[in-house]
């Protein structure tokens, strides 16, 4: 009742003459009115006005002077909630927009704190502080020195521009002055974009020496920005990096690039340019733009930008619906590999694809239609296979039009067996130029049909675990005749869970799987109530005859293929394991891969192993046997150790190794890393890379703070 009476009295007493419709509201334990113009509120006092909220222990309001005299502890919160002022006492105007607060602190976005002797509120927009210490670090009674702080004689915070201005500023680390800046402007924590310098980073490599990167961010418009980053090293390397971003109503675009002069390639400018864009088009189409180019094969590795050995630039428009996919794309390739020549690879590719699924009415089942055109062009004009000896004419240019129809229908048979009838037919028309073996125009057709039987067995154990065992038998008839066609898009063939029961295991259109065959396999899946699951797949392919379609590395060659086996575990404690192997009858490994991932509260680990025999048909003259790993370990709430690497068992050496250490608390992020690349070629040499970065939380760095320091009692 007292609080209600107080609110009513203040609505009458604190009404501002010029703004009769904008009245303040006051709540307190006690209220006293002396004379005609003086009101005293005491005990848990709260004032609400224009979104601002003031809490104090005692307020004296004098209507004649339109001033508030306030006793603390005082908490003044702005309407946005991002600015909070705490003080011991204050004298403010009735609208809380102007006045002086003593022994005060300004808290921005619950991150950055500015402590001052006095804080002056000006026009409801500016907050001016004198004798200031600014930091986002937590301080303890036993150790009042923050990890970092900025000391200044005066500070002004502009709430509209969301900028902080420091006069005679001094930056300190652990209480030790590091450098002095007469004038300093920084964005407050609520501002995502502001023109100015970003935090620098230090990078040292064995080729370039020690260098400093100092990014400068320019907010061009509300929807575009530019970042310029000079990078100068001790070994006479000068680089200017740039990043341009712009958002549109229908999409976005981003450009990243750099231009360099160094002593690694004296006299020649070096650099790269990457473009990445996505847009929405009419009729629910999407447009993707990707551009990548570099001046020389070693630049991206030398400057730690990317380890890609092939670059592709493309523009693609596509639309995917429930039963339809349409895409049109143009792709340009640039190789950085020593054993490839940009004049003899398909440097320009154009594709158009229409794929539609539909029901077949009275016939039943589901059908599909795919129409596709493909063209690729090489800049070489040599119709013969050159020094690379890849069995492809160096200047071969190709155009293809393809059509494919397919159909499948399933039936439920006795004993719960699912039977499926399926078939597929394709037709291709080729135009080949600058190839003495495949010159001119040619056509090819192919068809296959099959029957598939699945018999799922389901059992629920006494402990609630569900077991599903499903034998699968697929019998395929296909023509054994081979068309004389060039094969460039179907060289790499995968033998896995997805292709075990496939009508055609070749990924493209240049080659088709021929001859009658049987695909046999079985899967077992277990779902446990405790939250973990396991799956096992085992299968093999039997053929009527060996038509010499597949290389030794695929595991699909011969009348009888190798055994395919796969297993996967997904445990409740964050461990996931996936392994696939292709084994011959002697259990010798033809191809295998395994990946394990562990995500724990303190430890994260991802490791993969790949093993493949040599296969010239897959452009792999030497075996591939390597392991990679990436691990993180949280040493304590603030420190995290990182370790990564790749080891080549064939070469019996590591190819990449790296380690790092990161510190993150409520006010700072510190990251140091060391990496070594051991591989070498005619264009790149082994290098060691050391990087150091330092970010302050609370000054628009975009870094989210971590756990705060613990105070000792």
Q: How far apart are CA 142 and CA 144, in angstroms?
A: 6
Q: How far apart are CA 130 and CA 117, in angstroms?
A: 6
| Cis bond upstream, residue 698 (ω within 30) | no
Q: What is the pLDDT of residues 426-443, one digit of tens each?
A: 999 999 999 988 878 888
Task: For residue 482, name the pLDDT band (cuts at 50, 70, 90).
Answer: confident
Q: For 688, which DSSP code? A: E
pLDDT at 8 over 50: no
Matching residue, tokens 């005609």: 36
pLDDT at 195 over 60: yes
Q: For 618, which DSSP code? A: G
Task: For residue 254, name the pLDDT band (cuts at 50, 70, 90).
Answer: very high
pLDDT at 11 over 70: no
Q: What is the pLDDT of residues 564-577, one digit of tens each?
A: 999 999 988 889 99
The mean pLDDT value for 615-644 works out to 92
Query: Long-range CB contacts (< 8 A, 24+ apart) of 594-602?
Result: 598/574, 599/574, 600/573, 600/574, 601/634, 602/633, 602/634
Q: What are phi and psi of 235, to 5 degrees?
A: -105, 40
pTM here?
0.83
Predicted local distance difference test score (pLDDT) of residue 103 = 87
Mean of all residue pLDDT scores within the chain: 89
Predicted local distance difference test score (pLDDT) of residue 20 = 36
């Amino acid at each position: 009742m007292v609080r209600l009476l107080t609110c009513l009295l203040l609505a009458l007493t604190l009404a501002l003459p010029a703004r009769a419709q904008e009245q303040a509201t006051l709540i307190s334990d006690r209220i006293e009115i002396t004379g005609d113009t003086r009101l005293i509120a005491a005990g848990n006092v709260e004032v609400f006005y224009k979104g601002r909220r003031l809490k104090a222990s005692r307020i004296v309001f004098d209507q004649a002077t339109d001033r508030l005299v306030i006793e603390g502890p005082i908490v003044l919160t702005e309407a946005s909630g991002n600015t909070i002022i705490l003080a011991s006492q204050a004298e403010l105007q009735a609208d809380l927009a102007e006045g002086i607060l003593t022994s005060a602190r300004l808290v921005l976005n619950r991150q950055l704190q500015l402590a001052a002797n006095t804080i002056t509120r000006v026009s409801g927009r500016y907050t001016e502080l004198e004798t200031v210490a600014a930091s986002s670090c937590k301080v303890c009674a036993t150790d009042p020195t923050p990890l970092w702080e900025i000391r200044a004689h005066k500070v002004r915070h502009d709430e509209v521009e969301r900028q902080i201005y420091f006069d005679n500023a001094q930056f300190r680390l652990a209480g030790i002055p590091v450098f002095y800046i007469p004038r300093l402007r920084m964005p407050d924590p609520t501002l995502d974009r502001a023109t100015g310098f970003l935090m620098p980073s230090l990078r040292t490599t064995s080729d370039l020496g020690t260098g400093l990167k100092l990014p400068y961010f320019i907010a061009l418009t509300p929807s575009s920005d530019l970042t310029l980053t000079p990078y100068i090293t001790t070994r006479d390397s000068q680089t200017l990096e740039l990043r341009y971003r712009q958002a549109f109503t229908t999409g976005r675009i981003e450009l990243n690039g750099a231009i360099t002069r160094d002593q690694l390639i004296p006299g020649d400018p070096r650099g790269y340019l990457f473009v990445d864009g996505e847009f929405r088009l009419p009729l629910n189409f999407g447009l993707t733009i990707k551009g990548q180019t570099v001046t020389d094969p070693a630049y991206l590795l030398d400057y730690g930008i990317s380890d890609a050995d092939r670059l592709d630039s493309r523009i693609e428009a596509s639309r995917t619906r429930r039963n339809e996919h349409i895409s049109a794309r143009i792709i340009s390739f640039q190789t950085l590999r020593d054993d490839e020549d940009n004049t003899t690879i398909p440097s320009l590719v154009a594709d158009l694809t229409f794929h539609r699924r539909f029901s077949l009415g009275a016939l039943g089942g589901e059908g599909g239609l795919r129409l596709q055109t493909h063209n690729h062009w090489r800049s070489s004009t040599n119709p013969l296979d050159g020094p690379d000896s890849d069995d492809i004419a160096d200047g071969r240019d190709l155009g293809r039009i393809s059509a494919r129809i397919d159909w499948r229908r399933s039936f439920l048979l006795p004993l719960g067996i699912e039977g499926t009838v399926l078939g597929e037919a394709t037709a291709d028309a080729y135009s080949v130029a600058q190839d003495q073996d495949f010159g001119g125009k040619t056509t090819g057709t192919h068809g296959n049909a099959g029957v598939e039987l699945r018999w799922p067995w389901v059992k629920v154990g006494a402990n609630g675990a569900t077991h599903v065992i499903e034998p699968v038998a697929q019998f395929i008839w296909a023509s054994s005749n081979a068309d004389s066609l060039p094969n460039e898009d179907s060289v790499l063939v995968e033998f896995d869970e997805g292709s075990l029961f496939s009508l055609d295991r070749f990924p493209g259109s240049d080659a088709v799987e021929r001859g009658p065959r049987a695909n046999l396999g079985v899967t077992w899946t277990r779902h446990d109530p405790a939250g973990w699951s396991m799956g096992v797949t085992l299968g093999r392919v039997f053929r009527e005859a060996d038509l010499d379609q597949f290389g030794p590395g695929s595991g699909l060659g011969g009348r009888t293929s190798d055994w395919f086996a796969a297993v996967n575990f997904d445990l409740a404690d964050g461990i996931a394991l996936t392994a696939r192997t292709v084994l011959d009858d002697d259990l010798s490994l033809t191809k295998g891969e395994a990946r394990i991932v562990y995500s724990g509260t303190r430890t994260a680990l991802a490791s993969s192993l790949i093993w493949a025999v040599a296969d010239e048909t897959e452009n792999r003259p030497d075996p591939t046997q390597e392991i990679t790993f990436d691990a993180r370990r949280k040493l304590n709430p603030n420190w995290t150790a990182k370790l990564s690497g790749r080891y080549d068992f064939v070469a019996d050496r590591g190819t990449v190794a790296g380690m790092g250490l990161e510190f993150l608390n409520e006010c700072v992020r510190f990251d140091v890393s060391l990496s070594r690349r051991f591989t070498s070629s005619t264009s790149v040499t082994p290098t060691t890379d050391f990087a150091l970065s330092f970010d302050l939380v609370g000054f628009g760095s975009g870094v989210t703070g971590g756990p705060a320091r613990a105070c000792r009692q």
